[in-house]
Amino acid sequence: MNPDRDGGLLRFIACGSVDDGKSTLIGRLLVDADVVPDDRRAAAPDLAGLLDGLQAEREQGITIDVGYRYFSTPRRRFIVADTPGHEQYTRNMATGASTADLAVILVDATKGLLPQTIRHSAIVALMGIRRIVLAVNKMDLVGYREDRFAAIVEGYATMAGELGLRDVTAIPVSALHGDNVMRPSAAMPWYRGPTLLRHLETVPAAPAADQPFRLAVQWINRDAGFRGYAGTVLGGSVRPGDEVVVLPSGVAARVARIVTYEGDLDRAVAGHAVTLTLDPEVDVGRGDVIAAAGAPPHLSDQFAAHIVWLGDAPMLPGRPYLLRLGTATTTATVSELKHRLDIASGAQRPAKQLEPNDIGLANLSLDRALPFDTYEDNRETGGFILIDRLSNATVGAGMIRFPLRRAANLAWQDFTVDKTTRAAIKGHRPAVLWFTGLSGAGKSTIADGVERRLSALGHHTYLLDGDNVRHGLSRDLGFTDADRVENIRRVIETARLMADAGLIVLVSFISPFRAERRLARERLADDAFLEIFVDTPIEICERRDPKGLYHKARVGELRNFTGIDSAYEPPDAPDLHLRTLDMTIDDEVERVIQALQRRGVFD
Amino acid sequence: MPVSNSHLQALEAEAIHALREAAAVFRKPVILYSIGKDSSVLLHLALKAFHPAKPPFALLHVDTTWKFREMIAFRDRRMKELGLPLVVHVNQDGLARGIGPLTHGAAVHTDVMKTEALKQALDLHGFDAAIGGARRDEEPSRAKERIFSLRSASHRWDPRGQRPELWHLYNGRLNPGESIRVFPLSNWTELDIWTYIARENIPVVPLYFAAGRMVVERNGMLILRDDERLTLLPREMPELRWVRFRTLGCYPLTGAIESRADTVAAIIDELARSRTSERQGRAIDHGESSMERKKVEGYF
């Protein structure tokens, strides 16, 4: 194969706003590469209009969502990610950049470098793109002047250097007239470099870095005595006979065969979709990584990562999300948000949560150790997404910066006297009763009644009350969503310790979010856990207003008050649903006691 | 325009990756097999992805009862050769109401016999993922599609509320009733499809190749009168012309193009010089943003 004739596939992203002429430039590339059919050309009002796919985009004249365009020249096939310049640009640019080898950054020659030029470049750098084309557009409007071009290029070089972008090729163009897009510009004889298209045709695609072998197992292929592991090679290369290690188990083996439909291969490289067989046949499942034995990936349940927040609701430290890394899925929480990145200035700002389109550096804590590389070493094995556990939406994208080894240093100490021993002394099994509901719903009253009954029956209890905890354990926390999540996390862990000590723990907490109650259920799964929904309509709670809080919230003296200006998410399937308007306090207490008996907490 | 081998390699690997993900994460995925060239490529990729095992998918054909007879014959022959299970679904309610393209027009026919029929089939069999051969370059609204594209419990597409798709991490998690459309060929162009068909020697329906066929010209389209249901209008006279089909659908709604391209190589050559878009012969696409509207309502 002649490498000059076969440039393969180049994926690039075009960054800029409507005003920079980004859509016009891509439209110009498509027209000059002669890939626009006549009927579609005739239907578009202008070059930019060729790109608008959705009705709303055509109506509003803006790009809303990432779109992909395809064209080829005799030398190369191209995929262009076309991303909006304004709306949700961080989220859409991160998406488009995640698979791109190169970024074309547009600057309007009449305006020069703008804050958005910095923002676009910073996101591109963060997403691991190293090759930049600085397309200085609208040269026709500045009289095709060389000094104007040179000033912009010089300014950009300084900025790019600070972002670690060293591979920058600057090209003066006029997308509207086609200068230096495909044909060299007669109006700019002072420019001797390649046209944009020529540069894109000849620039090397992503450097075939010297990565060690990685394959994330997607599918176990079983067929009449055959057992193979199907997956795409995500880094390096592999040959039969190579020594590999399966992670997280750490079992060693040799590659026996590289199986494909066309027959066995003697070598597979990054990007190939293959099926491996191992010798000996060890235990391998989906989510495992098969890696070069001599250069295995990191294995840890904690790491630091940059997170781009894509969700509509903010990212809250302590809230569990699903983390998808390679083909593995596990639960993860942000254990510490170190800072939020101010993209325009590069400054690191303290933050308690990430808003939509924010970027932050955070420590993540996983439910189990997973194999990974840093994003810098391998984009495929160092990039992950976060998924909301209730909506299943993709809410975050992360780039792993370095592993944290705390988990390895903190060994779990086992002691002789355990939970069963303590329960035997008490004469009951430990349990956690989680009362949730609006302020003023009657949680504390019911919990108090239950505790008195239990005490009278000779059971050892403890009541964790929302207000009381706020005076001590959580004195440092406020009432933002992020602080509420951290508050609940502390209460969950405290309840867990008390249950481990053998107590029946009553937790009386508004606990407005489903995600945290679900976390409580999971963390306390070893014990009898009852989610008790104290269901009183808000009008009644507000009329009762035992602490005068609803009044304060209504007159604006109290912010983030649940039910007024902060949401309460009612339980979908509580273990007990106490509709307080239809019951007396004695009925309610009796229902709880019966539920504990049914769960075998005591007889 | 030559299409390089290494770039087909990359597209093939990406599609196989998506197919394997679909097999691994869904409870009951199905390949939507529409008999056309894209479906033929998709099926070929599925054979490759799971070799030496067979693809772990059922195949579904939504039959409008107006497909070209050659398509149905090709479908039955291929399924027999490959020994794969095929589910054929017809909207019996639509059939009983006599819905058809000639009596009810392209829009109603497509809505009832394709879109509604597809939703019925997915619900009836409890498929939680439907894998199709749609490509982003086919039509502007498809350029916005994800590779794993979420559908609501009522099979609707929300183009403005799509899940971001980064790297090769496809989010296939579903709430009750939701499903995913999987598009492994998203990044392929029409030219890629034909070049790959040539390279891999993939069988396709003979209607793609030029031959002398009896066609009538109606509303600017060359229609092949595939059976007696298409009655000729006064002064309409079938005539023998050298034509082929660039895409295949319901025969009264699919226009042929005049062509002498009777081999895959000749088609590739013809495409390189083509001045019209792939779906310009499809009556169902015409009208303002009709593909986007159909897709929102659940069409593939």
Of B16, B162, B171, nearest to A273 by CB-CB distance is B16
B5 vs A373 pLDDT, higher one: A373
Q: Indicate if B263 and B177 belong to the same structural domain.
A: no
Give the pair of three-digit tokens for residue A106.
Answer: 């547009």
The β-bridge relationship of strands A394-403 and A298-309 is: antiparallel
Q: A416: exposed, middle or buried (C-beta count within 10 Å: 0-12, 13-18, 19+)?
A: exposed
Residue A422 phi, psi (nearest 5): -65, -40
Suggest the residue from A62, A65, A257 to mutate for an interface test with chain B (most B CBs closer than 10 A).
Answer: A65
Q: Indicate if B192 and B245 belong to the same structural domain.
A: no
The answer, for A330 touching chain B at a CB cutoff of 8 Å, is no
Residue B201 included in any domain: no
Closest B-chain CA to A215: B17
Suggest the residue from B1, B4, B174 to mutate for an interface test with chain A (most A CBs closer than 10 A).
Answer: B4
pLDDT of A375 strictly over 90: yes
Classified as helix, coil or strand, A21 is coil
Q: What value, to the nearest 5°, has the Cα angle with vertex A530 and ends A526 and A532?
A: 160
Q: Indicate if B161 and B277 belong to the same structural domain.
A: no
Q: Indicate if B182 and B64 belong to the same structural domain.
A: yes
Residue A599: pLDDT band (50, 70, 90) is confident
Smallest CA–CA separation between A518 and chain B, in Å? 16
Whole-number Å distance between alpha carbons of B199 and B193 = 10
Amino acid at A264: D
Suggest the residue from A2, A41, A69, A70 to mutate for an interface test with chain B (most B CBs closer than 10 A).
Answer: A70
The answer, for A91 touching chain B at a CB cutoff of 8 Å, is yes
| Cβ–Cβ < 8 Å for A63, A52 | yes
Mean pLDDT (whole number) for A136-154: 95
Q: Indicate if B162 and B234 belong to the same structural domain.
A: no
Task: Lowest mean pLDDT of A74-78, A274-278, B55-59, name the range.
Answer: A74-78
The answer, for A40 touching chain B at a CB cutoff of 8 Å, is yes
Q: Indicate if B212 and B120 belong to the same structural domain.
A: no
Mark which residues 271-300 of B lie under 8 Å from A by CB: 274-278, 280, 288-289, 292
A60 vs B166 pLDDT, higher one: B166
Residue B167 included in any domain: yes
Mean pLDDT (whole number) for B38-42: 96
Which of A82-86, A446-450, B16-20 has maximum average pLDDT?
B16-20
Mean pLDDT (whole number) for B218-246: 89
Q: How far is CA A505 from the centre of its chain?
A: 35
- Eight-state DSSP code of residue A440: T
Whole-number Å distance between alpha carbons of B285 and B253 = 10
Mark which residues 425-454 of A lie under 8 Å from B by CB: none
Q: Indicate if B164 and B214 belong to the same structural domain.
A: no
Give the pair of three-digit tokens for residue B47.
Answer: 């054979």
The answer, for A7 touching chain B at a CB cutoff of 8 Å, is yes
Whole-number Å distance between alpha carbons of A55 and B95 = 32
Give the pair of three-digit tokens for residue A506.
Answer: 């009553």
For residue B163, give the CATH number of its domain.
Answer: 3.40.50.620
The domain total for chain B is 2
Give the pair of three-digit tokens for residue B12.
Answer: 């093939």
Whole-number Å distance between alpha carbons of A457 and A554 = 43
Q: How many residues does chain A have?
A: 603
Smallest CA–CA separation between A302 and chain B, in Å? 20
Cβ contacts of B127 within 8 Å, gap of 6 or more: B28, B29, B30, B58, B60, B121, B179
Residue B212 included in any domain: yes
Whole-number Å distance between alpha carbons of A495 and A529 = 11
The answer, for A359 touching chain B at a CB cutoff of 8 Å, is no
Say whether B20 and A286 touch across the interface (CB within 8 A): no
* Spatial CA neighbour of B113 closest among B99, B125, B130: B99
Radius of gyration of chain B from its Cα atoms, rounded to whole angstroms: 19
Which of A25-34, A500-509, A553-562 has maximum average pLDDT?
A500-509
Mark which residues 35-94 of B lie under 8 Å from A by CB: 47-54
| Cβ–Cβ < 8 Å for B101, B252 | yes
Residue B279: pLDDT band (50, 70, 90) is low
Identify the pLDDT of residue A410. Answer: 53
Whole-number Å distance between alpha carbons of A247 and A291 = 8
Please name the helix (run of DSSP H) or strand (run of DSSP E) that holds residue A97, with its range, or none.
helix A89-97
Q: Collect all residues of chain B within an 8 Å Cβ-Cβ radius of residue A66.
A: 144
Which of A2-11, A411-420, A495-504 has maximum average pLDDT?
A495-504
pLDDT of A162 strictly over 90: no
Give the pair of three-digit tokens for residue A6.
Answer: 């076969």
Task: Lowest mean pLDDT of A111-125, A313-327, B195-209, name the range.
Answer: A111-125
Q: Indicate if B266 and B293 belong to the same structural domain.
A: no
The answer, for A74 touching chain B at a CB cutoff of 8 Å, is yes
Q: Work out how many CB contacts closer than 8 A connect A with B.
A: 173
Classified as helix, coil or strand, A206 is coil
* Spatial CA neighbour of B123 closest among B171, B58, B179: B179
Suggest the residue from B136, B145, B169, B179 to mutate for an interface test with chain A (most A CBs closer than 10 A).
Answer: B169
* Spatial CA neighbour of B243 closest among B223, B224, B263, B259: B259
Mean pLDDT (whole number) for A548-564: 86
Domains annotated on chain A, with CATH: 9-202 (3.40.50.300), 214-292 (2.40.30.10), 299-409 (2.40.30.10), 419-598 (3.40.50.300)
Cβ contacts of B4 within 8 Å, gap of 6 or more: A1, A5, A6, A7, A8, A76, A77
> Which pairs from A279-284 meet CB under 8 Å and 24+ separation?
A279/A253, A279/A254, A279/A255, A280/A253, A281/A227, A282/A246, A282/A249, A282/A251, A282/A253, A283/A246, A283/A249, A283/A251, A284/A217, A284/A220, A284/A229, A284/A246
Whole-number Å distance between alpha carbons of A283 and A247 = 11
* Spatial CA neighbour of A270 closest among A298, A304, A237, A239: A237
pLDDT of A271 strictly over 60: yes
Whole-number Å distance between alpha carbons of A170 and A187 = 17
- Which three-class secondary structure string do you get for chain B? CCCCHHHHHHHHHHHHHHHHHHHHHCCCEEEECCCCHHHHHHHHHHHHHCCCCCCCCEEEEECCCCECHHHHHHHHHHHHHHCCCEEEECCHHHHHCCCCHHHHHHHHHHHHHHHHHHHHHHHHHCCCEEECCCCHHHCHHHHHCCCEEEECCCCCCCHHHCCCCCCCCCCCCCCCCCEEEECCCCCCCHHHHHHHHHHHCCCCCHHHCCEEEEEEEECCEEEECCCCCCCCCCCCCCEEEEEECCCCCEHHHECEEECCCCCHHHHHHHHHCCCCCHHHHEHHHCCCCHHHHHHHHCCC
Give the pair of three-digit tokens for residue B120.
Answer: 């019925």
Q: In angstroms, what CA-CA distances link A135 with A203, A310, B188?
A: 15, 28, 27
With pLDDT > 90 as the criterion, what percentage of chain A qualifies? 53
Cβ contacts of A459 within 8 Å, gap of 6 or more: A426, A427, A428, A504, A602
Identify the pLDDT of residue B233. Answer: 87
Cβ contacts of A252 within 8 Å, gap of 6 or more: A243, A244, A245, A246, A293
Of B3, B54, B292, nearest to A54 by CB-CB distance is B292
pLDDT of B5 strictly over 60: yes
The interface predicted TM-score of the complex, written ipTM, equals 0.89
Classified as helix, coil or strand, A212 is coil
Mean pLDDT (whole number) for A477-495: 86
Residue B221 included in any domain: yes
Mark which residues 277-296 of A lie under 8 Å from B by CB: 286
Q: Indicate if B132 and B160 belong to the same structural domain.
A: yes
With pLDDT > 70 as the criterion, what percentage of chain A qualifies? 92
pLDDT of B288 strictly over 80: no
Of A7, A9, A70, nearest to B137 by CB-CB distance is A70
A479 vs A302 pLDDT, higher one: A302
Q: Indicate if B96 and B144 belong to the same structural domain.
A: yes
**Average pLDDT score, chain A:** 87
pLDDT tens readout for residues A45-87:
677 766 665 555 555 555 567 788 888 888 888 999 887 766 5
The answer, for B177 touching chain A at a CB cutoff of 8 Å, is no
pLDDT of B41 strictly over 60: yes
Which of A21-25, A286-290, B107-111 has maximum average pLDDT?
A286-290
- Print the domain residue range for B55: 5-196+289-297
* Spatial CA neighbour of A25 closest among A51, A43, A44: A51
Of B20, B164, B288, nearest to A218 by CB-CB distance is B20
Whole-number Å distance between alpha carbons of A378 and A236 = 10
Q: Indicate if B104 and B127 belong to the same structural domain.
A: yes
Residue B174 included in any domain: yes
Residue B71 included in any domain: yes
Whole-number Å distance between alpha carbons of A234 and A383 = 12
Of A52, A72, A271, nearest to B3 by CB-CB distance is A72
Q: Collect all residues of chain A within an 8 Å Cβ-Cβ radius of residue B50.
A: 219, 221, 230
Classified as helix, coil or strand, A104 is strand
The answer, for A536 touching chain B at a CB cutoff of 8 Å, is no
Residue B85 included in any domain: yes
Identify the pLDDT of residue A208. Answer: 58
Of A99, A218, A273, nearest to B167 by CB-CB distance is A99
Give the pair of three-digit tokens for residue B95.
Answer: 């059939």
Q: Collect all residues of chain A within an 8 Å Cβ-Cβ radius of residue B143.
A: 53, 67-69
A34 vs A134 pLDDT, higher one: A134
Residue B289: pLDDT band (50, 70, 90) is very low
| Cβ–Cβ < 8 Å for B121, B89 | yes
Whole-number Å distance between alpha carbons of A202 and A197 = 9
pLDDT tens readout for residues B71-117:
999 999 999 999 888 999 999 999 999 998 888 888 888 889 999 99
- Per the rule left: phi > 0, alpha: psi between -120 and 50, beta: everything else, B289 is left
Say whether B49 and A68 touch across the interface (CB within 8 A): no
Q: Indicate if B34 and B127 belong to the same structural domain.
A: yes
Amino acid at A86: H
Whole-number Å distance between alpha carbons of B147 and B18 = 8
- Eight-state DSSP code of residue A401: E
pLDDT tens readout for residues A89-109:
788 888 899 999 999 999 999
Say whether A68 and B136 touch across the interface (CB within 8 A): yes
Residue B290: pLDDT band (50, 70, 90) is low
Task: Lowest mean pLDDT of A434-448, A467-481, B18-32, name the range.
Answer: A467-481
Suggest the residue from A234, A288, A378, A385 to mutate for an interface test with chain B (most B CBs closer than 10 A).
Answer: A385
